[in-house]
Amino acid sequence: MLSPEYLDRFSDQLLAIIDEFSVSVVSDIAKRIIMMGNISETSNYQIEILQNAGMIYDDVIRRISQVTGYTEEEIKRMFEEAGVKNIENESVYYKAAGKETITLNQSESIQQILSANIQKTFGDLSNLTMTTAIKAQTLFIDTCNVAMMQIQTGALNYNRAVANAIKKAARISTEVLYPTGHVDKLDVATRRATLTGVNQTAAEINLQYAKESGCDYVETTAHAGARPSHAVWQGRVFCISGNDKDYPPFYESTGYGTGPGLCGWNCRHNFHAYFPGISSPAYTKSMLREYDSKNMEYNGVKYTEYEVSQMQRAHERKIREYKRVLAGINSGMESSRNEETKNALKKEFNTQSIKLKGQEAELKNLCYQTGRRYESARTQVHATRDKNGNIVGFSRSVSQKAVWANRKSKK
């Protein structure tokens, strides 16, 4: 069994790596936009756009190769750590019931489950990440064409059009394309894939453990802030086989094995072994009612923890977006040889820095008022780059450039 709290935080390190990859892609696109220079003859400009778009594709593929080793290593570490943690937690329930416990290394079938899911999750993420190259290429062409039209029609001057192009590229550059046609941000897709992968692995291990030990019952975990469709079955005991009329059937009741169900998409619920007549329920009815109540106050309004959690996630997504925008503008400033363009981008950088700090202040205020944990782990991990800007490792140094720009604006 993996707790909801564990599942909420285990992927922070991987997501930090993905954030740095996204920043690198944004920086590469911004450099290419600046390199396009001023608008000249339309036909020549279109040729330059297509040539640079091809280079953007190559840039992203190169970035992917730089982080692949780190992501593969981190995925393996996450799954193995979660596998050991899950078995240890599960063994507590078997030991309390007087049953024989096992370790990860003692069961070949459990090891196979773990290994297969590591490979599947890495493959899924690799496929999604590769789609960012095509998306970035298309985005570059679109933003350059829009900028060209704005300048030629007089809607915007060159510097304003370039700044807007960089901001747009930063906001939507690292999107992934699912086979279904659905588009999502890379960080959101990564969190979903790893959370679902690790949780489903733990669930498969638990069912295999139960099978090998002759256990036919499980109790689902529960947490405040559960989505309404999951709140109906969280913290309850189920019969795996469905042969005991005193307990609801596991698969039918929880939707286990389906995307919207237990251990499905983005689900932080798990389950552990339960032995009727021996085990004690982990959750009382009053505890479960409390989880669903509107007991969190923010700016004078009462919310459920689920509602507050969604507000917090929205703030966090916005903060990451501002950081990508700042990275793009900074890259543009460093790449430009035109002082007028540099000054315009510097002004935009200061504006976006103030917005970032405002968004961070709103998030901290939300967490302060509601008592939720302010999660800063991902902002503490940054890429180490060589003199050519290639990612060669990861460290925990924190850039102060945006902080400094924000402080200067207040003087």
CA angle 196, 200, 204 (to 5 degrees): 175
112: how many CB neighbours lie within 10 A of its CB? 11
Average pLDDT for the chain: 87
Predicted local distance difference test score (pLDDT) of residue 283: 92
Which pLDDT band, with edges at 50, 70 and 90, does 393 fall under?
low
The DSSP symbol for 223 reads: -
- My answer on whether 244 and 371 are in the same domain is no
Same domain for 359 and 332? yes
One domain for residues 287 and 263? yes
Mean pLDDT of 305-329: 88
State the total domains in the chain. 2
Which residue, 247, 271, 292, sits at the end of a domain? 292
Which pLDDT band, with edges at 50, 70 and 90, does 378 fall under? Answer: low
Look up residue 13 and give its two tokens.
């390190």
Model pLDDT for residues 104-157, shown as the tens digit of each residue: 887 889 999 999 999 999 998 898 888 888 888 988 889 888 888 888 888 988
Closest CA to 320 of 226, 409, 402, 404: 402
In this prediction, residue 118 carries a pLDDT of 93
Task: Tell me if 162 sits within 8 A of 332, measured CB to CB.
Answer: yes
Instruction: Kindly state whether residues 16 and 84 are assigned to the same domain.
Output: yes
234 plus 201 within the same structural domain:
no
Token digits of residue 262: 């237990």
CB neighbours of residue 58 within 10 Å: 13
Q: Are residues 239 and 332 in the same domain?
A: no
The confidence score (pLDDT) of residue 368 equals: 95
* pLDDT of res. 403: 45
pTM above the 0.95 mark?
A: no
- Domain boundary among the residues 232, 266, 292 is at 292
Does position 31 have pLDDT exceeding 60, yes or no? yes
Q: Give per-residue pLDDT as tens, 221-246.
A: 999 878 889 999 999 999 999 999 99
Distance between CA 194 and CA 78 in Å, rounded?
A: 9
- Band of pLDDT at residue 379, cut at 50, 70 and 90: low
Residue 224, amino acid: A
Query: What does the CA dihedral 129, 134, 137, 141 come to, rounded to 10 degrees?
Result: -140
Task: Please indicate, yes or no, whether residues 298 and 315 belong to a single structural domain of this protein.
Answer: yes
**Same-domain status, 287 and 301:** no
Q: Which residue has the higher pLDDT, 252 or 13?
A: 252
Residues facing residue 303 across a β-bridge? 296
Mean pLDDT of the region 25-38: 86
Amino acid at 347: K
Are 13 and 139 in a shared domain? yes
- Residue 230 is predicted with a pLDDT of 94
The per-residue DSSP string of 380-410 comes to G-EEEE-TT--EEEEE-----HHHHHHHHHH
Domain match, 233 and 330 both: no
Cβ–Cβ under 8 Å, residues 375 and 315: no
Indicate whether 167 pLDDT > 60.
yes
Interval 260-285 mean pLDDT:
94
What percent of the chain has a predicted confidence (pLDDT) above 70?
Answer: 91
Range of the domain at 312: 4-215+293-410
Question: Are the CB atoms for 394 and 382 separated by under 8 Å?
Answer: yes
- Alpha-carbon distances of 240 from 90, 151, 210, 218, 222, rounded to whole Å: 16, 65, 9, 7, 18
Of residues 9 and 109, more confidently modeled: 109
- Domain identity same for 239 and 326: no
Specify the higher pLDDT residue, 283 or 390.
283
Is pLDDT of 332 > 50?
yes
When computed from its CA atoms, the radius of gyration of the chain, rounded to whole angstroms, is 25
Of 292, 307, 341, which residue constitutes the final position of a domain?
Answer: 292
Q: What is the mean pLDDT of residues 8-26?
A: 85
Q: Is the separation of the CB atoms in 322 and 355 below 8 Å?
A: yes
191-210 pLDDT per residue, tens: 899 999 999 999 999 999 99
pLDDT at 188: 87
Same domain (yes/no): 139, 11: yes
